[in-house]
Structure formats: C-alpha cells, structure tokens
Structure 1
C-alpha cells in the first residue's frame, strides 16, 4: 500500500539534499549545461519549482499545467534567474506542495496529470520524490544514480517497469539485478529479452539515463523504451 505521508517525508529529505548541494554553486553554474539535452542547470531547477506547483494543482483538482506550451515557456522564463532566486523559488514551491499534501484529503481519489494520465492521489508524493531525485542527478553536480536511496531505486524500477508493461512497442522483457526480478513490455508466456544489471544501472536505463554498455542483455538487443 502506498503511504503518502511517508513519501511526503521522503520528498522533504530529497529536497533538502538538493538544496544543500545547489547552494554550493554560483551564478555562473546556473547557465552551464545540465545532463539533459538543451537544458542548463537553471532549466532543471526552474522545472523542479514549476513541477512542485503543478503537482499542487493536481492535488487541488486543477489542471497540472495550463498547457504544454505554457509549461515550457515558464521553464524558459525562469531558467536564467540568479542562484539565490532559484533556491528561494524551489524551497517555497516545495513547501507549498508539502503543505497541501499534509491536509486531510481522500487519498484514494483519482487525479489527472499530464497528457490524460490518471493516478490515485496517494501516488502523487512518490511522483514528486522521483522528480527531485532524478533531476538532482541530471544537474551533474556530483549526485549519481548510485547515491539514490535504496528504497527509492527499487520502487522507481517497479514504477517504470509497470509503466511500460503491455506496451506494444516494447518486447516482453525480464529485468533482474540477480536477486529481484521485474517484467515489462508486451504480454507473453515467456520473456523475449532478459536485462541484467545493478539496480542503479537498471533504473538508469528505464529512466532514459543509461544505456547498454552497463547492462547484460540476453535473447536480443536492449529494448528501446518510449520517452517518459
């Protein structure tokens, strides 16, 4: 069962780690490239702040973003801001999200995210936790997939494997770290491909952040996954 209160506490811990690390940067660092194509460090920080507000909208029963174009425009607008402004915005938007999450609510209700995706309200804090952890890695400032909390890594692998389950363009795939196993892709009586690797590397592949070089693939080639 999803424990939204536990996940909200994990969001706070992850955000505190992020803010502590980013506070050691300078204004010049905001303009340098991140690990995401065409995005600077400032773009990633702006996205994290706006995503917190967007998920607050979701919990309030509103549209996550006014539109895809508005989302992109807000990130582009906020990306060049000085470091202290970025930090304040991220801290305050995170506080708004967690305050909304702490209010009494029906956590079994269905909420709508982007592109018509729906989920239970109780899973929204975990989705926010994923945003903070993975984008901390994307900043390229010394926090790596191997540094992610073990609980988060395992649950995010679960989440992403389920996201691609029954996807017609992904072959039936068994994913394993040698101890645990997950399945994704098309439904079949037996997997077409087996992907083996360390948890951090498996997560990196599922999240579009690492490729075949760090994984052992048998039965075929490493499946190409749809974008998140």
Structure 2
C-alpha cells in the first residue's frame, strides 16, 4: 500500500539535501553542464522547480503543463538565472507542493499527468521524489546513485520494472539483484534475458543513468531500453 504522507516526508528530506548541495555551488557552476546532455545545472534546477508546480496542478485537477512547448520554454527561460534566484524558486515551489499535499483529499482518485498518463493521486509524492533524487544525482556534485536511500532504490527499481512491463519493444527480462530479489519486466516477444547486479547498477541502467556495463547478462545481450 502506498503511504503518500510518508512519501511527502521523504520529498521534504530529499529537497533539503538538494538545496544544501545546490547552495554550495556558485553562478559559474550553475551555468556548467550537468550530466544530462544539453542541459546545464541551471536547466536541471529550473526543471525541478517547475515540476513541483506541475505536480501541484495535477493534484489540483488542472493540466500538468499548458503544453510540452510551454514546459520546455519555461525551463529554457529560467536556466540562466543566478544561484540565489534558483534556490529561492526551489524552496518556494517545494513549499507549494507540500502545501497542496497537506490538503484534505481523496488520495485514491485517479489523476492525469503528461501525455495522457494516469495514476493514483497517492503515487504523486513518490513521482516527485523520483524527480528530486535522480536530478540531484544528475547535477554531478558528488551525490551518486549509491548515496540514494535504500528504500528509494528498491521502490524505484520496482517502479521502472512496472513501467517497462508489457512494452513490446523490450524483450522479456528477469532482473536479479545481488540480494537475491527477482523482478520480471519487458514484453512477451524476443529472447528472454536475465540481467543482474547491484541495486545501484540496475537502477542506473533502468533509469538511463548508466550504460549497464557493470551488469551481468545471461541468455543474450543487454537489451536497449526506450527513453523515459
């Protein structure tokens, strides 16, 4: 069962970690490239702030973004701001998300995200947690996949396995962690493969943050995954 209140607390903690890391930067570092191709650290910080507001929209029953073009334009507009403006925006947008999350609501209701994707309202705080945690790693400031909380790593691997489950472009995959835990993902067509390794390497590959070179593959080659 999803505990949205627990996840809101986790979002608050993860946001505090991100803010502390970002506060140690300077304007030159914010303008430098992040680990995401084509994006500076400023692009990432702007995206995290605008995502908070977008998820407020989702919880309030409004469209997540006005349009895909408007989403991209907002990020591009805000990317070059000085560090202090980024930090203030991150704090204020995070506070708006927490305030919306604290309102009495039917957390079992279905809400709509981008591109017609639907989910339970109760999962929105975890979706926000994914944004904050993975983009903290993407900043490239010393916070690595291995630094992520164990609970988050376990749940995000499950979340991504569920996301790729039934995808006809992905062959049948059995994921095996070095803790012995096994998950099934992918579609039904193609040669089944087993992919094993540390939880951080599995997460990195599933989330497009690592190339999977550290993983062990049996039954075939490492499958190519569609972008998230």
TM-score scaled by length of structure 1: 0.98
State the superposition RMSD in angstroms.
1.1
Query: 1:142 aligns to what?
Result: 142
Give the Å deviation of 1:104: 0.5
Work out whether residues 174 and 191 of structure 1, in 8 Å CA contact, stay in contact via their aligned partners in 2.
Answer: no
Work out whether residues 191 and 220 of structure 2, in 8 Å CA contact, stay in contact via their aligned partners in 1.
Answer: no
Query: Quick check: 1:122 aligned with 2:122?
Result: yes
Secondary structure at 1:183's aligned position in 2?
strand
Secondary structure at 2:175's aligned position in 1?
strand
Work out whether residues 173 and 185 of structure 2, in 8 Å CA contact, stay in contact via their aligned partners in 1.
Answer: yes
Inter-partner Cα distance in structure 1 for 2:221 and 2:215 = 11
Deviations 1:134-184 (A, max 9, x none): 000000000000000000000000000000001001000000113111110
Paired residues, number: 227
Give the Å deviation of 1:226: 1.1
Query: 2:84 aligns to what?
Result: 84
Query: 1:69 aligns to what?
Result: 69
Work out whether residues 153 and 199 of structure 2, in 8 Å CA contact, stay in contact via their aligned partners in 1.
Answer: yes
Query: 1:158 aligns to what?
Result: 158
Inter-partner Cα distance in structure 2 for 1:209 and 1:33 = 15
Give the Å deviation of 1:191: 7.4
Inter-partner Cα distance in structure 2 for 1:46 and 1:214 = 32
Query: Quick check: 1:184 aligned with 2:191?
Result: no
Deviations 1:102-158 (A, max 9, x none): 111000000000011000000000000000000000000000000000000000000
Inter-partner Cα distance in structure 1 for 2:169 and 2:150 = 29
Query: 1:53 aligns to what?
Result: 53
Inter-partner Cα distance in structure 2 for 1:138 and 1:150 = 18
Deviations 1:7-65 (A, max 9, x none): 00000000000001110110111110000000000000000000000000000000000
Inter-partner Cα distance in structure 2 for 1:57 and 1:63 = 6
Give the Å deviation of 1:69: 0.2
Query: 1:172 aligns to what?
Result: 172
Query: 1:95 aligns to what?
Result: 95
Give the Å deviation of 1:212: 2.6
Taking the TM superposition and a 5 Å limit, the aligned residue runs for 1:8-19 are 8-19=8-19
Taking the TM superposition and a 5 Å limit, the aligned residue runs for 1:189-228 are 192-228=192-228
Q: After TM superposition, where is structure 1 displaced by more than 6 Å over at least 4 residues in a row?
A: none
Work out whether residues 165 and 187 of structure 1, in 8 Å CA contact, stay in contact via their aligned partners in 2.
Answer: no
Secondary structure at 1:84's aligned position in 2?
helix
Query: 1:104 aligns to what?
Result: 104
5+ unaligned residues in a row in structure 2: which ranges? none
TM-score scaled by length of structure 2: 0.98
